[in-house]
A and B are shown apart, each in its own frame.
Chain A
Amino acid sequence: MTERAVLEATELNKRYGDLHAVRGVSFHIDAGETYGLLGPNGAGKTTTIAMVGGLLENDGGQVLIEGEPMTVHTLDPRRKIGLVPQDLAIYPDLTARENLTFFARLYELGGRRLKDRVENVLEVIGLRDRADDRAGEFSGGMKRRLNIGIGLLHEPRLLILDEPTVGVDPQSRNAILESVEALSADGMAVLYTTHYMEEAERLANRVGIIDQGEIKAEGTRRQLVQMVGERDRISITANGPLESVVSDLRALSGVQDVGASDGQITLLVEDASALLALALETVAKNGASVSSVVVEEPDLEAAFLHLTGKALRD
């Protein structure tokens, strides 16, 4: 945690009757950081977000937004949050522009600034030429984009996206992921829940793996993968004295294992990007010539499977 986190959630708990839906969930997000909450349906992602956004009373725990406590009764911290609900929350009988204008006013935007922000968001979500059409006439992807756009109007410090790409066509999905990347690059903190491994891998600086209301593990993708003993794999296809190459490679620090067969050398390493140059140099030094190199970083899939005993599939 650097200086003061944009969001700091501590020991959040929520019970629905007998169901302990969220159990002692803690995490923090810094400015410019994207935190991925990755877990299957029913894991407690939406419930966690509802407590973070001050929508739902918690049964213990604390939420701080830039140091300010957030409860269901506090209004001030809400100005710093842009919350994009999992289910579409737009008025189908209003146009895109009317939807944006209405919600912008709830965040005390007015006058020139209101107009500017609405135009800007229309641009960002790519709905400028459909701004005056009723939202009900939009495609699923366009509705999703509008749903997200509403959360951006007041330029929040923390953007919360709850499974924003569910049921979206690939093109819209890509547009959504790109805009999240851009917002993060601008310094916005993002809390992104998903049950898609690829999205968490692509967007999140850190990932929390949540299952049955508990965060099972948390860290960068690399940390998570290493936690369960998965390693990067470098495959080099080369001609030449491969035996000496292999023994030299084995001597390098950070290399776990090396094997060779049919002119292909496979290395299991802790960090492929740190070791790749050195490995290629070693091959060349031994007088072998490289014809192809493939670097495979193990995905979260394996880590997830290991941590939860579940495959992350719909």
Chain B
Amino acid sequence: MKTIWNIARKDLALRSRDRSIFIIGLVAPLALAFIFNLVFGGSINDVGESVRFEYGLVDLDQGDVALAFGDVMANLESEALISVERFGTEAAGRTAVEDGTVDAIIILPADLTSRITSGEPAKLEVVGNVDSPTGATIASSIAERFSTGLASATDAALTAVATGVVDPTGIAEAAAEAGALPPLATVVDIEAGIRQLDAATFFVAGLSIFFMFFVAGLGVTSMLEERRDGTMTRLIASPIRRSSIIAGKALTSVLIGLVAMITLVITSTLVMGANWGRPLGVLLLIVSAVLAVVALMSFVGGLAKTAEQAGNLQSIVAVTLGMLGGTFVPISDPTSFLGKLRFLTPNAWFLRGLADLSGGSIADTLPAVAVLALIAVVFGAAALSVARRVVTT
């Protein structure tokens, strides 16, 4: 362990003398995120004070619960916060979302009232427009709030029905006091994912992970450099295990990755007003993402014969995954083939995890964390076997 740390400490000292790492790891992502935010931020996330969100309501239920929801929407409309347009079919509603005529639609399924009254789980669907992440988020929260209120009310009402006090049709009207009970109706947010991140956070997060790819590959590259420069001979001649050399290099990459990411989170929060979400969740995602990217890039770099070759290979992979993962710009149609393909990349899972975190709890990030951890394990093992080849004179 001492040896591993000795190697990592030496490499960190070397890297800290090399200005390029600060540029790649910190300056570039911050500067680009800042520029991207200026150029594209407005179109993606225009939360001007005068903006009113336009929502579509697709009422397939036509029951009491739907009526109650209509009242909630009408209330908000009368306060000039939103405008509501009704659509007869789900298809018409979706077309309106896709065309951008509305920011989001809320779909009340046909069996909503009957499910609620019989105490079965029901769901409200929210379909958001790509270009209006905030509009979609607000629609979700309206639906969420309604279903939570509904839950407590239903619970109270069911008791009332059971004891014969109220007739079942009066349940919806009984919506009043909300307790801390779980919602009976789940709000399914179709447009979850990157859309819940505000533009500044989205850009800085996407660019951070993109540039992480370049920083994370340095460990393997430096092994190839040591081989080229002859110092590998010395490392091998000394009484240390070859695996310690690899571990020291991996540790260096992970530490540099973590420091870069954490610095970016703090700086972007302070300077650009980025909103990453709860620190513990962000930390979990950062750690798993750094491990995944280090493993992936170590594997890719380990396939090369020279440091230069490794750098080139790594760049190609970094840019490809960056584009595919929707790092630079959100993918316009997330349900398309290309939109689904992005989940082959750690980039997309990292952004997805952050989005889940901003829309929910730390537990919601766990799927993304798990996928990133899996990538780390699989490519870590592969990297280890190719790296052994590099530890020669």
Bound-state CA distance A94–B14 (Å) is 7
Min CB distance A250 to B, Å, is 56
Picked from B13, B235, B238, B393, the residue with its CB within 8 Å of the CB of A94 is B13
Instruction: Kindly identify, within residues 260 to 285 of chain B, every residue whose CB is under 8 Å from any CB belonging to chain A.
Output: none
B235: chain A residues at CB < 8 Å are: 106
* Minimum CB distance partner of B3 in chain A: A106
Task: Tell me whether chain A's interface is mostly helix, strand or loop, or mixed.
Answer: loop
Min CB distance A31 to B, Å, is 20
Q: By the criterion CB–CB under 8 Å, are A75 and B241 in contact?
A: yes
A-B contact count (CB 8 A): 62
Q: By the criterion CB–CB under 8 Å, are B17 and A105 in contact?
A: no
Segment with Cβ contacts to A, from B70-78, B165-173, B225-233: B225-233
Instruction: Kindly identify, within residues 1 to 56 of chain B, every residue whose CB is under 8 Å from any CB belonging to chain A.
Output: 2-3, 6, 10, 13-14, 17-18
Q: By the criterion CB–CB under 8 Å, are A103 and B13 in contact?
A: no
Tell me if B88 counts as interface (CB < 8 A to partner A). Answer: no
Q: A106-B3, A106-B6 are in contact. Are A89 and B234 (CB under 8 A)?
A: yes
0 or 1 for each of A85-111: is its CB under 8 Å from B? (1 = yes): 101111101100010001101111000
Min CB distance B22 to A, Å, is 15
Tell me if A55 counts as interface (CB < 8 A to partner B). Answer: yes
Q: By the criterion CB–CB under 8 Å, are A55 and B236 in contact?
A: yes
Instruction: Kindly identify, within residues 48 to 106 of chain A, every residue whose CB is under 8 Å from any CB belonging to chain B.
Output: 50, 53-56, 75-76, 78-79, 81, 83, 85, 87-91, 93-94, 98, 102-103, 105-106
Tell me if A150 counts as interface (CB < 8 A to partner B). Answer: yes
Tell me if B237 counts as interface (CB < 8 A to partner A). Answer: yes
Q: By the criterion CB–CB under 8 Å, are B240 and A91 in contact?
A: no
Number of chain A residues close to chain B: CB under 8 A: 27
Tell me if B239 counts as interface (CB < 8 A to partner A). Answer: yes
Q: A98-B13, A102-B10, A106-B6 are in contact. Are A90 and B231 (CB under 8 A)?
A: yes
Min CB distance B382 to A, Å, is 23
Picked from A78, A89, A93, the residue with its CB within 8 Å of the CB of B14 is A93
Picked from B3, B231, B236, B238, the residue with its CB within 8 Å of the CB of A91 is B231
B241: chain A residues at CB < 8 Å are: 75
Q: By the criterion CB–CB under 8 Å, are B237 and A54 in contact?
A: yes
Q: A55-B393, A75-B240, A108-B239 are in contact. Are A150 and B2 (CB under 8 A)?
A: no
Instruction: Kindly identify, within residues 326 to 344 of chain B, every residue whose CB is under 8 Å from any CB belonging to chain A.
Output: none
A83: chain B residues at CB < 8 Å are: 233-234, 237
B231: chain A residues at CB < 8 Å are: 89-91
Min CB distance B203 to A, Å, is 34
Q: By the criterion CB–CB under 8 Å, are A91 and B14 in contact?
A: yes
Q: By the criterion CB–CB under 8 Å, are A103 and B238 in contact?
A: yes
Bound-state CA distance A39–B140 (Å) is 81
Q: By the criterion CB–CB under 8 Å, are A106 and B240 in contact?
A: yes
Min CB distance B232 to A, Å, is 8
Bound-state CA distance A312–B17 (Å) is 44
A102: chain B residues at CB < 8 Å are: 6, 10
New contact pairs (16) apart from A87-B233, A106-B240, CB-CB < 8 Å: A55-B237, A55-B393, A76-B239, A78-B237, A78-B238, A83-B233, A83-B234, A83-B237, A85-B233, A88-B230, A89-B229, A94-B10, A94-B13, A98-B10, A106-B3, A106-B238
Closest 7 CB pairs of A and B: A106-B238, A78-B239, A89-B230, A87-B230, A75-B239, A83-B237, A105-B6
Query: What would 26 A/B residue contacts be, using CB atoms closer than 8 Å?
Result: A50-B393, A55-B236, A75-B239, A75-B240, A75-B241, A78-B238, A83-B233, A89-B229, A89-B234, A91-B14, A93-B14, A93-B18, A94-B10, A94-B13, A94-B14, A98-B13, A102-B6, A102-B10, A105-B2, A105-B3, A106-B3, A106-B235, A106-B238, A106-B239, A108-B239, A150-B234
